[in-house]
Copies of this chain bind each other. A is one copy, B any other.
Amino acid sequence: MIRIALDACGGDFGPEVTVAAAVEALRLRPDVEIILCALSDPREKPGNRAARRVSNRLLFEPCETVLDSGVGPVAAIRAGQGSSVGKAMALHADGRADACVSAGSTTALMTLGMKMLGMLPGVKRPALMSKLPSASGDTVLLDLGANLEVSAEQLVQFALMGLVVRGQDDDRAPRIGLLNVGHEDSKGHSVVREAHGRLQDLPLNYRGFIEGNDIFSGEVDIAVCDGFTGNLVLKSSEGLARMLFGALKNAMFSSWRSKLGAAMAGPALRGLVARFDPAKHNGAPLLGLDGVVVKSHGSSRVPATRQAILEACDEAGKQVPDTIRALIEQHKAEIEQ
């Protein structure tokens, strides 16, 4: 049995969404139990008939408070222990759960994770990771904002962490790229050039420097960068996709002719939108912690929240932290040089 501790109160919609998502996840994964951390038992609410069908695997842990989404690191430590996210983290730290999922504040999740679970040996701070759609499937991108200024050592660690989460394809080792302003060895600042040298020394399918467009072209499976750049690349991509889909919708409803066209092309267009649905890529693990911690987007509805829970189940099943620990230990010399 894999046990997930879920901060049921985090995010914009609270238990209404998180409990429904937990129930859906439990129906998909009969090998999973979920502990809801909430102010009052959300399983008691009327209308939760679906919940009762999986009720033997849906547990409850009471908490005293819910942290604000804008909470700072100091307040997160002070008020965090009795909060919904703090309880979920404590369950994981105590070994009563195999992973912790929250749609609350990233700062709180990171601060409490570092304090209650601790970091893996040699890792400074957690890295946030996400999957982005690409022409050949998807690309793992990290870090997304936890480490604004990084060392060459950290960039190499990000590559190894991404590798563990991405997992092996049947036919080839995942292709790793280091984001830079050009493909040539001479490009970029000293930190990326140093990381480039170290990655070349490791027994990886390292494809060298990549440019921004290579994230989406399917050139690599894992794209590595500092957290400042990664955050801006992720958020600008989300913004551009939203603008383009909005413009497409407006164009298709701009005349009777295009409306008719939209009706004819409906299934194809719905398939397109579904393929790039952000909910499918929800669930950003915080890697480098001595535990499995997954951040769900604050505005997640049921399908996105379910996806984040399933991501946590996968990572707990694959024992991601132990594998990262072993890989970093094994390649200590090349990483630190």
Mark A residues whose CB is within 8 Å of B.
70, 72, 133-135, 145, 148-149, 179, 181, 184, 186, 188-189, 211-217, 225, 227-229, 231-244, 246-248, 251-252, 254-255, 257-258, 260-269, 271-272, 275-276
* Given A184-B70, A265-B257: A231 in contact with B212 (beta carbons within 8 A): yes
Assess the B244–A232 pair: CB atoms within 8 A.
no
Assess the A181–B228 pair: CB atoms within 8 A.
yes
* Given A181-B227, A228-B181, A232-B233: A268 in contact with B255 (beta carbons within 8 A): yes
Give bound CA distance, A125 to B181, whole Å.
17
Within 8 Å CB of A276, what residues of B?
A: 244, 247
Give bound CA distance, A214 to B184, whole Å.
31
Assess the A235–B211 pair: CB atoms within 8 A.
yes
Main secondary structure of the interface of A (DSSP, over half): helix
**Closest chain B residue, CB of each to CB of A247:** B272
Q: What are the 10 closest A-B residue pairs judged by CB atoms, nearest first? A: A261-B265, A213-B239, A212-B235, A261-B264, A212-B236, A258-B268, A216-B239, A258-B265, A251-B268, A261-B261
Q: How far is the CB of A133 from chain B (nearest CB, A)?
A: 8
Known A-B contacts: A217-B243, A247-B275. Give 5 more (CB < 8 A).
Answer: A135-B243, A181-B227, A214-B239, A215-B239, A240-B241
Q: How far is the CB of A149 from chain B (nearest CB, A)?
A: 6
Assess the A261–B266 pair: CB atoms within 8 A.
yes
Taken together, the copies of this chain in the complex come to 2
Assess the A237–B212 pair: CB atoms within 8 A.
yes
Assess the B265–A186 pair: CB atoms within 8 A.
no
* Given A213-B239, A235-B211: A264 in contact with B258 (beta carbons within 8 A): yes
**Closest chain B residue, CB of each to CB of A223:** B236
Assess the B229–A228 pair: CB atoms within 8 A.
yes
Give bound CA distance, A135 to B264, whole Å.
27
Q: How far is the CB of A77 from chain B (nearest CB, A)?
A: 16
**Closest chain B residue, CB of each to CB of A225:** B232
Within 8 Å CB of A263, what residues of B?
A: 261
Within 8 Å CB of A216, what residues of B?
A: 236, 239-240, 242-243
Assess the B248–A248 pair: CB atoms within 8 A.
yes
Give bound CA distance, A215 to B243, whole Å.
10
Within 8 Å CB of A231, what residues of B?
A: 181, 211-212
Within 8 Å CB of A247, what residues of B?
A: 272, 275-276
Give bound CA distance, A215 to B240, whole Å.
8
Assess the B239–A236 pair: CB atoms within 8 A.
no
**Closest chain B residue, CB of each to CB of A227:** B181
Q: How far is the CB of A227 from chain B (nearest CB, A)?
A: 7
- Of B227, B244, B264, B265, which is within 8 A of A244 by CB? B244
Give bound CA distance, A255 to B265, whole Å.
9
Assess the B264–A260 pair: CB atoms within 8 A.
yes
